Structure 1
Amino acid sequence: MSFTALVEEYRGKLLENVHFGVVSVVDEKGNVIYRAGNPEHMTYLRSAAKPFQAIPVMKRNIDEVYGLTGQETAIFAASHRGESFHIEALESIIRKVGFSEEGLHCCATYPLNEDAKAERHRAHEPKRRIFHNCSGKHSGLIALCKHMGWDERTYYKLDHPVQQEILETLAYIAEVPISSIPVGIDGCGLPVHALPLNKIALSYLKLACPDLIEDSATRVAAAKMAKLMNEFPDMIADTKFVCSALLKDPNLSAKGGAKGVYGIGLRKERLGISLKVSDGSEQVWPCIIASILERIGYDNQETIDRLYELVPNVIVNDGGTIVGERRAVFSLER
């Protein structure tokens, strides 16, 4: 089977839940050096693809073309959660590039951040497309289409030049044939791509260590995107989410996607990590990622502590009383 038990959750002394999944850790040659479960398990990247989907945008220096700030450019790789500074950045991008919010293919919704959502409800504001967590990615692709003279209305279709370039970029970085990449439709309406876990790990290693990318234009674009993600971590998710917490560590490139998939690249150690939680849970990401970092001997305890602060391993009830715990139960096999 692909999956193995990653996290157990206890209420009192009784085992209440088990989260299964896969972990893959690769070296700079793409060799799997640690694993839990089947490292070749195929999964959609979902939003973990965003830094790579942004590479065609970065290749054309779209930030310079339209005079975008670092914060605005970073949101091209984001699953932003709709805090006010995210919305301000997106509104600025729309003004500078010169397109309508209605041109975004992602649907109108409310922010994912609960405080931000409550704020919009209190103000009796309607749902908006830029509240959608993928609107930064969509804005970058529209800006690229506008610059290249491509049809801005159909940028979400698989046969569109921008989507074909994204597919080629992902195949190149992951070192797989295009024909081997399953393509579906993501929650935001764009094509979504699947890779084996070990290839996701390799892709994130290259994002962290772009010297491993031979093509110079792709290498420069990846390096610039990764640098912006570390410089403006709160733009990538929000002030209380695991992606931003990890990106505060300048040694890491990191991004998660829906349904439990995650990718991390370690610069100094030159390692790539990927994981998939089979039930799609994101709540157990901090427990799993912190445990992986501990088990490979990662030396930045501040990063590990920050993960445990986000989602403590103690489980509390509605009144704040400790009623149980979660435990990482997997071993990393060589």
Structure 2
Amino acid sequence: MIKKIIGTAAVIAISIVPSIAFAQVSAIKLSHTIQLKPDAERLHPPVVSQVEIHPTGKLMAVAGDDHFVRIMEVATGRVIVTLKEHTDWVRAAQFSPDGKLLATAGNDRQVLLWDVHENIQLRGGSDFPSIITAIDFNHNGTRLAVVGFDDSVVVYDPYSGKTVHQWKAAGNDLRAVAFSPDGKQIAAAGRTGIIRIWDAASGEKLRDIRAHNERIHGLAFSEDGSQIVSGSEDRKLNVHNTSSGQQIASMPTGDAKVFSVSLMQPGTIATGGSDNEVRLWSLDTYEEIDHLAGHDGTVATLSVQGQTMVSSGFDTTIRVWDLGSSRQKSPPVLTVPVSRFSN
């Protein structure tokens, strides 16, 4: 049971790890690689749609195209439990900020809510109008925003399951949704390259930002909420002022289409792309400051918690990065059998 691994105190009172100093970025090293293996009913390991680290930093949720969500130990890659209730590709998974809830969603149009402490499903719903591609909790876990392959943005109360808001975005095929750090704004974007921002309380549309010429896959607010960073298939990482919509910077990503964007620390953005690399960008100078190689396929998902970052995607591996220690010469590779049954 997850309850035995996390423990009551760790779920309720989460330890906060200090942010990494900018000067320590160069100290990033690969801690270990977790290679997923196929189970008896599949020829290939699952493609990983999303990896999300639990706020304690000890566990992670791994969602894939094999319809499963695995709760795994970050340090060892051991599968603690396999959640098997989805009936199609699971594209999104996120823990609430307090670590008590896990939300999962995907092609079956269901948003499933799990009580992490008791390892039970709280509720599920199949009324979302399309395949779900992305979800995001607000800062205190009282709201969950959901988007998918149409123009709907739905905000739920995760505890009651009731719809709080439902809006139309600037076009179909949405791939990214994000609350601002203070929970006051919500942004969504997708195929049109336009970011639409709403007031999270009133539902008022605040502005449209024409950020890219092609599909946006990732959004991240700066820590103070004054900037929004977007990554796109047009091979650019763009930064806009959230109040005025004015572009602040545009950073070319070379040959890489950007598939994931994550705030790594207050002044640093991490991106994953089709060049199989994780790239780090400064929000002070708006320049690339480092890149992390090793994946053999598109890096579709990133998650950062304290001094740990995980990356994964099309190559069916999960790479665990240590954001603060000295480098190892030969990081270990952990082979994890994929099972349909809980351990």
Kindly indicate whether structure 1 or structure 2 has the higher relative contact order, using CA contacts under 8 Å at least 6 residues apart.
1
| Structure showing the higher helix proportion among its residues | 1
Greater Rg over alpha carbons, structure: 1
Normalised TM-score (structure 1)? 0.29
| Structure showing the higher strand proportion among its residues | 2
Normalised TM-score (structure 2)? 0.29
